[in-house]
Structure 1
Amino acid sequence: MLAKRKLGNEGLEVSALGLGTMLMPDNEESVRTIHGALDLGVTMFDTADLYGDFLLGQFGGNEKLVGRAIKGRRDEAIIATKFGVTHSQGPKGDPAYIKKSVDASLYSLGIDYIDLYYQHRPDPNTPIEETIGTLADLVKQGKIRYIGLSEAPADLIRRAHTVHPITAVETEYSLWSREVEDEVIPVLNELGIGLVPYSPLGRGFLTGQIKTFEDLPLDDYRRHFPRFQGENFAKNLNVVSLIEDLAHQKGCTAAQLSLAWLLSRGEHIVPIPGTKHLDRLKENIGALDVTLSAGDLEEIERISPKGIAAGSRFGAI
């Protein structure tokens, strides 16, 4: 069985690595990958009501895939999903929307309760106290077990936590996206809140599998991201090459080294690398067997310091 980690102070324990399902197509290979994850001891599965086959222009549907895959194995899975972002509207967090969303997610997933329920993005039009108060009522009703926030700033996390304990914050965090180290992580450490990094492999760049822009399929969403374009691509590829060299010295892959570095940042951190393929999942799990010495960590800091990535995180899609 995989090592376990605790998120927050309310008793949630999950596998040290989870599985992000956002880009999983609704097919049997995805179901087999989720089954394989369960067989290997992965317990944390991350989805959202918005997720679907984006390449086909489909928003929603991913929860149904996850629900179908865990049917008959519910007791082995910790299900994290999100509300609050739609394709046509901005972030939402008003009580009426939350109550409608949680019932829709429970139906799509085919389950009686959601383990970890995140607000996908802060709603600028609804006070966070009102949003968390509604979620606290859902905890009392047994529809959700734990409350989370996604891509929330430090001040909002602190305000939310005064209403009801926040179990986890999901945000982008990796060797080339370290902005959360400035303000968010100190607040999480202070309040005892878990951190769930998404895109822990830099949207695949840190795996070392992407060598040229042409390696990305024509319909790949990453073609629109600044870090994958032009001079930025070349600069970032140089950093990844250095990470690959160090990984080779350690007898592991660049992906495993990158995940091991994240895991070393604190016992409250549970990365959720996404993959559609079981072999990649097994490779990622191998990161749990990689031990980084103080010298290794110093070398990683030298070759990939905070702010090293060229280009912004997001671009127009």
Structure 2
Amino acid sequence: MSISQASIPLSHLLPPLVLGGAGFSHQVYRNPNSAQALEVLKRAFQLGLRAIDTSAYYHPSEILLGEALSHPDITSQYSRDQYFLMTKVGRIAATKFDYSPSWVRQSVMRSLQRLHTRYLDVVFCHDVEFVPEEEVMGAIGVLLDMVREGHIRYVGISSYRIDILARIARRVQSQYSRPLDIIQNWAQMTLQNDRLAQEGLKAFREAGVSCVCSSSPLAIGLLRANSVPVGDLGDFHPAPSGLRSVVKEAADYVAGQGESMAALALRHSIRRGQSLSTPDFRITTIMGITSIAELEDNLATARQVLQVSNEPHWLWSTDAGQSVEGNMARATVDERLCSAVHNILGPWRDYSFPSPGDDWDVATKQPVSTKQPVSTKL
């Protein structure tokens, strides 16, 4: 796909699964490195997973991905139009944001250099709930200018807060006389939290948005047998102890039934997104990947839901899983297990993390105390 094809609706281009670049960051991985990124990317591309979502905030993800994408092992086999790159602007660090027009433009140009590409398929404004909406609107205007200049193909926003995403989407449609192309929301189309489907999708569609990325299907590693991931920056996970406790109880139950909590949660998230997608409204799942083993496990799990062949480009095809019934036996078992998990979660089902918390001042884009605010969207 070339930059000249940007008039094609994004819903017709974005595949059902995307590789999350946060797995190459200090937040969720100890010592992210070039060798890790290259090996994961080579295997992902071989298996057909060629859409990547990252951010300047996921340091050093952009740098490592760019080194991998420019490596002869990749360039000798894949041209730029055979993979899809999404990144973000605005969030710099856990407590640092810059949505100024000059920085947004500088950040995009830096991402182009880091990723060794002449254009970016999608650029999101990152974690928009942490800054004043007027600054977000200004940043979107800059990104739309950069679409016209040929640096970007599609523009979106990302946030945990569904209400803020919907409000900004409506404002964009009104102020810029065109809709946002895409919205990204994290950890709210999961086995634990279904608020994206319940509260977000209808509002996004009404605002003209054609694509929604549901990221963190495991809620940043919460929905698995092991504890939450701890990278070089320590335990950043926003889940309170009560939620962690019931998730562990649910994971133990699922394991006792001979199933993996992580696999069940991933199947549930993908199946949910595909069931709500249409040819003109795509819901895609972003999977955090840190290793070849994790990549292969996740794709094997995804195949159980998408019911696609082993052809090398199956994930790149936007038709994968849209019109094919899932395996009924697997779906029946999963339905029973998911129901049991929901019973165990009890009042924690559909619990949402505060974002931002009471310790964050949106107007000043600063913490209001010495306590560090929760880090979001990985």
Return the letter of the residue paired with 2:172.
A
Provide Cα deviations, 1:245-273, integer angstroms capped at 9, x if missing partner.
6673xxxx433332222222222221111
2:169 to 132, 154, 157: 157
Determine if contact 1:47/1:62 at 8 Å carries over to the other structure.
yes
Q: TM-score, normalised by structure 2?
A: 0.68
Match of 1:57 in 2: none
The verdict on how the C-alpha distance between 1:312 and 1:240 changes in structure 2, with shifts beyond 3 A counting, is farther
Match of 2:199 in 1: 183
Asked if the contact 1:225–1:313 (Cα under 8 Å) also holds between the matched residues in 2, the reply is: no
Distance 2:354 2:133 in 1: 25
Report the number of matched residues: 292
After superposition, residues 184-199 of structure 1 pair within 5 angstroms as: 184-190=200-206, 191-199=208-216
1:132-165 Cα distance to aligned partner (Å, 9 max, x none): 2221111111100011110052111221234233
Distance change in 2, residues 1:143/1:256 (3 Å) = same
- Please tell me the residue identity of whatever aligns with 1:288: R
1:275 aligns with 2:316: no
Which one-letter code corresponds to 2:19 in the other structure? L
CA distance in 2, matches of 1:133, 1:153: 16
1:204 alignment partner, SS class: coil
1:186-225 equivalence runs, <5 A: 186-190=202-206, 191-208=208-225, 210=226, 221=234, 223-225=235-237
Q: Which residue of 1 aligns with 2:261?
A: 254
Q: Which amino acid aligns with 1:63?
A: E
CA 264–146 in structure 1, closer or farther in 2 if over 3 Å, else same: same
Residues 226 and 144 of structure 1, relative CA distance in 2, 3 Å threshold: closer
Identical positions, percent? 23
Shift of the 235–207 alpha-carbon distance from structure 1 to 2, 3 Å rule, reads: closer
Aligned CA RMSD, in angstroms, stands at 3.0
RCO (CA 8 Å, sep 6+): is it higher in 1 or 2?
Answer: 2
Q: Within 5 A, what are the aligned runs for 1:1-317?
A: 9-10=9-10, 13-24=13-24, 25-52=32-59, 61-71=60-70, 72=75, 73=78, 74-87=80-93, 90-122=96-128, 123-124=131-132, 126-151=134-159, 152-162=164-174, 163=176, 164-173=178-187, 174-190=190-206, 191-208=208-225, 210=226, 221=234, 223-227=235-239, 229=241, 231-244=242-255, 248=259, 253-265=260-272, 266-267=276-277, 268-286=282-300, 287-290=302-305, 291=326, 293=328, 295=332, 298-299=335-336, 300-301=338-339, 303-304=341-342, 307-308=348-349, 312=353, 316=374
After superposition, give the CA deviation of every residue in 1:63-93 in whole Å (9 maximum; x if it has no partner): 1111111121333220100000122764433
Q: Which runs of 5+ in 1 are unaligned?
A: 1-7, 53-60
What TM-score, normalized by structure 1, do the two folds share?
A: 0.79
In structure 1, the partner of 2:314 is: none
Distance 2:98 2:230 in 1: 33
Show CA shifts across 1:198-257 (max 9, x none): 22112223232x0xx5x8669573x3435364x443212122334446673xxxx43333
Deviation at 1:168, TM superposition (A): 1.7
Mapped partners of 2:215, 2:258: distance in 1: 21
The secondary structure found in structure 2 opposite 1:176 is coil
Quick one: distance in 1 between partners of 2:327 and 2:340? 14
Contact between 1:116 and 1:145, CA under 8 Å: does it hold in 2? yes
8 Å contact from structure 2 (residues 54, 62) kept in 1? yes
- Residues 17 and 49 in structure 2, CA contact (< 8 A), matched pair in contact too: yes
Cα distance, 1:138–1:206 mapped onto 2, change above 3 Å: same
36-45 vs 22-31, greater mean Cα deviation: 22-31
2:315 — aligned with what? none
